[in-house]
Structure 1
Amino acid sequence: MTRRTAILAFSLAVVIGLLLGLQSWDLALGRVERSAIAAVEEKTGFVVKGIERAEIALLPFPRISLSRVGFSQRDSALSGEAVRVRAHLRLLPLLTGRLSFDRIDLVAPQIDVSVAPGSDGVTEWLAAPLAELERLRSQSKIVVQGGSIFLRANGVIQSVVRDLSLVIDERSLNEPLDLAGSLTWRGVPTEVNLRWPMVGGSAKAALSVTSPLLKLRFDGTRSGPEEPVVNGLLALSSPSVPELLRWFGEDSRLASALGALTLSADLQLKPHEASFNNAIASLDGERLDGVIKLSEGAGGRAALSGTLAGATLDIGRLVNRLPIPAIDAADTGPLDLDAWTAREIDLRISVDAARLNGARLNDVATYLLIKKGRFETGLLRAGAYGGSVKTRLLAVSAPAGVDIKLQAGLEKVNIGQASSDIPQLGRLSGNGTFQLALDGAGRTFDEMLGSLTGRANLSVKQGELAGAAFSDLLRRAERNPAQALRDWRQGKTPFESLTANAGIAGGLLVLTEAQMNGQTYRFNLSGNASLRSRTLDMVASLASTSSALKLPFSLKGPVASPLFELETEAFVSPASGTAFPALLTR
C-alpha cells in the first residue's frame, strides 16, 4: 500500500467514525436483540422462538451475532435451531443510526421440516417451505453453513439431508428465488442450482442437479399464479436407473430391467402431471423417440404412459435383468403379483429390429400394460426368420391367487435360419408353425402348475432332424440286425412333415398325436410330460413304409437331458419272427 493510499483509507475511517459518533447509539442488548430478531423475521420468513445471547461488532465489518437461535416458519412447516446466526449490517443505514441487514448466515442449523405421512417425494417435502418463501415481499441473502434437515411425519424421521451448504440470493418484490449449494442425501453428495419465479405471468425457471447418480439440467419458464405450468427443455442422465430410483425411495421391480439412461425432452409440468414431448431416450446406448407422460392415476398411484419408437432394442437384456422367480413346484412361497403392479403403466414400443435371448426379430411392436392387480405384456407383432411371432402374458389377481393366461404363436418360421441364433433349435430345420395356449390359477407355483390347462400344436414341413439317422437304422436292421445299433445317433433324418398335438390338464402334458413322416419311414411318439417335475415318460416307434419292420424306443428322464433309447428287448426280426437281444447287445 502506498503512503497516499494509506492516508486516504485512514481519513475515510476517521470520517466514518465521526459520523457514527454523532449518532445517538443505544447498543443495549435489548435493542440489539429486538432489531436483529425483527430483521431475521422480515428477511427470512422465520419466527424467532428464542436466543441465548446477542453480540455486535463493528470491525472488520459491522455485524450482529445471535447464539443458539430457535426459529420456525409461521405455518410451523419448518422449525429448527442454529448454533449461530450472523446478520451482516448495511453500512449506509448504519451511518444514519438504523440497523439494516444485507446477509444472514445460519451456522450449523438443525432444521425440522414437517411432511405428510406416506409422502416420499422431494417435491412434496419442499412444497411448504418454498411456499412460505414465496409469500415474502423481500428477502436478504441467506447463507446456510454445515446444516442438516430432518424430514419428519408425525415426529418420525422420513429422511435426513446432511452437509447442507446453501446460498439463497437476496431478492426484492417479484424477483425470482435463486439458490445454489451442495448437500448429501442418502449418502450421495449432490450439487444444486435453482432459479424459481415468485410471481404470476411468464418468468424464467432453471434447475441443475449434479451427483454420481444423476445429472439434470432444465431451462424454461413458469406461468400461471394459482396452478403454475412449467415448460422448457430437460436433459438428464443416470448410469443406473434402478439405483437412481432407490435414491429417491422408489424400489421398483420393473425398473430393474433398465440400466444406463439419457433423456432429453420438451418438458411440461402441470399439477399432478409431467409430459415429456419430443423425448429422446437412450437405454444402454439404444435410442428411442416418442412421448412419455407421468401422472397421478387411480387412488393417487403414479402412472406412466408413452409411445416410443427406435431402430434397435435388446428385449432379452431387459427381461433378463428382471428378478423373475424360477418356476419351481418346490417353491411354496406365495405368488406376489402386487409387487409387480405397484405402479400403473401403459407403454408401447416399436423398433425396426430387436433381439430376444439370441433370436433376431424385425418390425417389432411390443407393449406393457399394468394396473393394480393386473399385469399384461407381449408382442403385438414381430417378424422372425421369414415368418411372424405373437405372444401375450396376462396375470390377474383372483380369489384363487393369481390367474395366468399365456398365448404364443409362430407362423411359417424358418427353423434352420433360427437355429443359427438359438442353439436349442440346432437339431431341427424346416418351416414351422407353433401354437400354445395355457390357463391356470394358484397361490403358489405348485398350485399353478397343477391347475394348468391348455393345448400345444407344432407343425413343421420339409425339414431335417439332426442326431438320429432313422432311414439308415431301418436299412441296417433289415439287412444285418447285429449292426443296427451302430452309429444310428449320428447323421440326419430328412422328413416331409412333423406334427405334434398335446393337451394339458392337471399339470400333465399328454401327446394326443405326434408323428414324423419321411419317404421310407414313419415315426410316432406318445406319452406325457409332468410340468411339476419336468420329466418325460414317453414311448416311440419307428416303422418302415416298405416292410413290417418296427423299432420301439423310449424317451424318459428330465426335460433338459432325457434319454432316448432303442428298446432292444422288444426288437423282433421281420424275417425269422424271433427276438435277438443278444445279438444287438454284444
Structure 2
Amino acid sequence: MTRRAAILAFSLVVTIGLLGLQSWDVALGRVQRSAIRAIEERTGFVVKAIERAEFALLPLPRISLSQVAFTQRDGALAGEAVRVKAHLRLLPLFSGRISFDRVDLVAPRIDVAAPAGSDGITEWLSPALAEFEQLQSQSKIVVSSGSVFLRADGAIQSVVRDLNLVIDERDRNEPLSLSGSLSWRGVPTEVNLLWPMAGGNAKAALSATSPLLKLRFEGNRSGPGEAVISGPLVLSTPSLPKLLGWFGEKSRLGSALGAVAISSEIQVKAREVSFNSAIVNLDGERLDGAIKLAETGGRFALSGTLAGATLDLGRLVDRLPVPAVNAADTTPFDLDAWTSRDIDLRISVDAARLKGARLSDVATYLLIKKGRFETGLLRASAYGGNVKTRLLAIGTPAGVDVKIQAGLDKVNIGQAASDLPQLARLSGTAGVQLALDGIGRTFDELLGSFTGRVNLAARQGEIGGIAFAELLRRAERSPAQALRDWRQGKTPFETISANAGIAGGILALTEAQMTGQNYRFNLAGSALLRSRTLDMTALLTSPNGALKLPFVLKGPVDAPVFELETEAFLSPAGATLLTR
C-alpha cells in the first residue's frame, strides 16, 4: 500500500470512528423525520407524504425520499416528486445534526396557484417567489425533468415542461439565482435569473434564449416600497407575431411586423414598462425614440414616438390581414379584433416606401381606442408635391362608421411613374382630393352607403396610348381611316379637371374635361362602388366644335373597355354628327 493510500484509509477510519462516537440515533424513522424537518427549513417546502426513505453514508452522506408530496407554507405552490435526494453536509454529522447543501427534485410535478384572471408569467410566479423571500436560508435546489402547471380557479392556464433548473444556495437577503432550461408551449428555452429578495437597491438580471427570443437584462431593483426595476435591455426575435403568439397574444396589428430587435434603457413599475432611449430595428430598419407599455383599466396600452431614416410602410401594410374590398363578402366587420389594445404611436422618417411609391419627410400615426381605429399620414412629400391621408373607423350600433380622406397636391406624375408602373402612360403635375363617409356592417352595406366627393386636377402633361389630335385629323379626312391604329401615340394636355359626387354608393361625374391645343375631351357618367364598374360616355371635339367623336367607357374598374362608338359616326346619321 502506498503512503497516500494509507493516509486516505486512516482518515476514513477516523471519520467513521468519529461518527460512531456520536449519540444520534441512525434509526430510519428518526433520520426520516430529521431529514424532512431540514428539507422544510432549507427549501420552504412542507412535506405532506412520502412512500419510502433511504439513508446512506457512503460514498457521500445522502437521504433519498420516494414519491414525495409537498407544498409551500402559503399553498401557492404544491406538487409531488418521484424522488427527493438530500445531500448531507459532512461536518454537521460529527455533532449529530442533519444539514443539507443540496436538494434534488427528480421528475417533480408542480402546481402553481395563479390569481384568477391573471395571464402573465410574472403574476403566476410572484406568490412562489414571495415564499422563497421569507426563508432564513435556502439550500441549493436542483430540479430535473420537471413539469409546472399554472392554475387559476382550478383550471390549467399554462404548462411548463422539461424543466431542468438549478437554484443556487443562498442566505437570507441574498438574491435568488437560478439557471436552466425548460419547454413552454413547445419552444425550448434557456433561462438565467438573478432576483433580489430584499428591499433597497440590489442587482437584478435576466437572460432567455429560444428560437423565438433572445433577451438580456442587467440592472437594479430599487426599494423599499413599490419596486422599480431599471437597466439596459436587449431583446430580439425573428418574428414578432410568432413571439406574441408564444405568449398567448393574438394581434392583428402585430402581424405587420417581422424581425424585431430592441435595445433600450427600461424602467419597470407596477403595470408599466418604459423603454427610454430605445433603438428599434424593424427588419433591419432603425427607429429611435421612446415607448411605453401600460395596463389601464384592464386594457393593455402602447404609446410611443419613434424617428428614423427609412421605413417600408408598404411592407407593413401588406402583412396585415386586411380583407379585400368585395361587396360579395357578407362577413360582418370585426372592429373589436382591431381595437383590442390601446395604441398611440407616432413615427417620423426621412424616407419611406408605400406600395412602390417613394415618400420623404414622412410623419405617420396610429391611434386606437376600444371601438375606434384611426391612422394616416400627417405629412409626406412625394415627387415634388405633398400627400396627406386619414382613415377613421368607429363602431356604432348600426355598424362601422368609416371616414376616408386623402389629398395629393402638385405631384409630378412623370417622376412617380418611374416607381409606379400603372402610371407609365401619364405625365404632368396633378392633385387629388378625396372624402368618403359611410356606415355598414359588411362591405356591401358600407359601399352602398358611401357619400362624399372626388376632385382631380392636372396640368401640362401627356397621356400615352392614344393621340386625340391625330385621331381628329384622320376622322376629318376619312371616318373609316380613324378606326385604324388609333390606340397609338401620345396626347399632350394643358389641363385636366374632374369633379364627382358620391351618394348611395354611386359616383357621378358632375364635370370632367381634358383640353389640349387641338382638341377638347369631355367625360360623363357614373361608377358603381359596389360592383366597381364604370358606365360612362365621352366626346372628343375639335377646337371649333365642328368635329365630334363619341366614346364609351364601360366595364370593371381594373380593366374597362374604352372604345369609339363606330356606329354613331360611320352611319349616315353619324355623318351629320361629324360635321355638326
Same fold (TM over 0.5): yes
Q: What does residue 326 of structure 1 align with? A: 324
Which amino acid is the alignment partner of residue 416 of structure 1?
G
TM-aligned CA distance change 1:576 to 1:308, over 3 Å? closer
Cα separation, partners in 2 of 1:366 and 1:576, compared to 1, 3 Å: closer
CA offsets 1:392-445 (integer angstroms, 9 cap, x no match): 000011111111000000010001110111112222211111000000111111
Match of residue 302, structure 1, among 300, 323, 327: 300
Distance 2:422 2:118 in 1: 49
Q: Deviations over 1:50-69 (max 9, x none)?
A: 11121111011001111111
What residue identity is the alignment partner of 1:98?
R
Equivalent residue for 1:209?
208
Structure 1: how far apart are the matches of 2:259 and 2:287? 13
- Report matched runs for 1:183-582 at 5 Å: 183-297=182-296, 299-571=297-569, 577-578=575-576
Equivalent residue, structure 2, for 1:89:
88
Match of 1:154 in 2: 153
Secondary structure of the corresponding residue to residue 248 of structure 2: coil
The alpha-carbon deviation at position 348 of structure 1 amounts to 0.5
* Residues 548, 574 of structure 1: 8 Å contact kept: no
Where does structure 1 lack aligned partners over 5 or more consecutive residues? 581-586
Residues 50 and 67 in structure 2, CA contact (< 8 A), matched pair in contact too: yes
Specify the code of the residue in structure 1 equivalent to 2:363. Answer: A
Contact 1:569 1:579 in 2 (8 A): no
Instruction: Give the structure-1-normalised TM-score.
Output: 0.97
Deviation at 1:573, TM superposition (A): 8.8
Give the match's secondary structure for 1:532.
Answer: coil
Write the distance in 2 (CA, Å) between the matches of 1:449 and 1:77: 55
Matched residue SS, 2:138: coil
Q: Which residue of 2 is the match for residue 584 of structure 1?
A: none
Rounded to whole Å, the distance in 2 between the matches of 1:416 and 1:19 is 99
1:578 positional shift: 4.8
**Deviation for aligned residue 1:117:** 3.3
What amino acid is the match of 1:478?
E
Q: Is the 1:549–1:573 contact (alpha carbons within 8 Å) kept by the matching residues of 2? A: no
Percent identity of the aligned residues? 74
Task: Indicate conservation of the 8 Å contact 1:572/1:578, yes or no.
Answer: no
Question: Does the C-alpha gap of structure 1 residues 576 and 530 become closer, same or farther in structure 2, counting only changes over 3 Å?
Answer: closer
Q: Which amino acid aligns with 2:148?
A: I
Is there any run of 5+ residues in structure 2 with no aligned partner, and where?
A: none
Gap change, CA 1:567 and 1:51, over 3 Å in 2: same
* CA-CA distance at 1:579 after TM superposition: 7.8
**Other-structure match for 1:120:** 119
Q: Shift of residue 152 of structure 1?
A: 1.4
Aligned positions of 1:94-173 closer than 5 A: 94-173=93-172
Q: Which amino acid aligns with 2:380?
A: A
CA distance in 1, matches of 2:436, 2:133: 59
Instruction: Give 1:574 deviation, angstroms.
Output: 11
Q: 1:429 to 1:470 in 2, by over 3 A?
A: same
Residues 71-94 of structure 1 show CA distances to partners (whole Å, capped at 9, x for unaligned) of 111221111000011111110000
Counterpart AA for 1:400: A
RMSD: 1.4
Superposition deviation, residue 575 in structure 1: 12
Partners in 2 of 1:90 and 1:472 — Cα distance? 105
Contact 2:479 2:570 in 1 (8 A): no
TM-score, length of structure 2 as denominator length: 0.98
Q: CA deviation at 1:121?
A: 1.4
CA distance in 1, matches of 2:33, 2:575: 120
For residue 51 of structure 2, what is the amino acid of its counterpart? E
Count the aligned residue pairs.
578
* Secondary structure at 1:178 match in 2: strand
Which whole-Å CA distance do the structure 2 matches of 1:142 and 1:329 have between them?
Answer: 63
Cα distance 1:349–1:385, how it changes in 2: closer, same or farther (>3 A)? same
Secondary structure of the 1:500 match is strand
CA offsets per residue over residues 225-259 of structure 1, 9 Å max, x none?
23111111100111000001101111111000000
Cα contact 1:32–1:55 (8 A) shared by 2:
no
Separation in structure 2 between the aligned mates of residue 135 and residue 303 of structure 1, nearest angstrom = 34
Give the match's secondary structure for 2:322: coil
Q: Deviations over 1:321-342 (max 9, x none)?
A: 0000111111111100000011
Are the equivalent residues in 1 in contact too, given 2:146–2:162 (CA < 8 A)?
Answer: yes
Which amino acid letter does the alignment assign opposite residue 243 of structure 1?
K
Instruction: Give secondary structure in 2 for the equivalent of 1:25.
Output: coil
Residues in 2 aligned to 1:118 and 1:371: alpha-carbon distance in whole angstroms: 22
| Deviations 1:89-114 (CA, angstroms, capped at 9, x unpaired) | 11000011111111111000000111
User: Contact 2:348/2:361 (CA < 8 Å) preserved in 1?
Assistant: yes
Q: For the residues of structure 2 that align with 1:402 and 1:448, how far apart are their CA atoms?
A: 8
CA distance in 2 between partners of 1:369 and 1:198 (Å): 40
Provide, for residues 339-370 of structure 1, a one-character-per-residue CA deviation record: whole Å limited to 9, x for no partner. 00111111000000000010000000000001
* Shift of residue 576, structure 1, vs aligned partner: 9.7
- Cα distance in 1, alignment partners of residues 134 and 501 from structure 2: 71
- Alpha-carbon distance between aligned partners in 1 of 2:143 and 2:408, rounded to the nearest angstrom: 64
Whole-Å Cα distance in 2 between the matches of residues 130 and 490 of structure 1? Answer: 79
Q: How far did residue 577 of structure 1 move?
A: 4.2
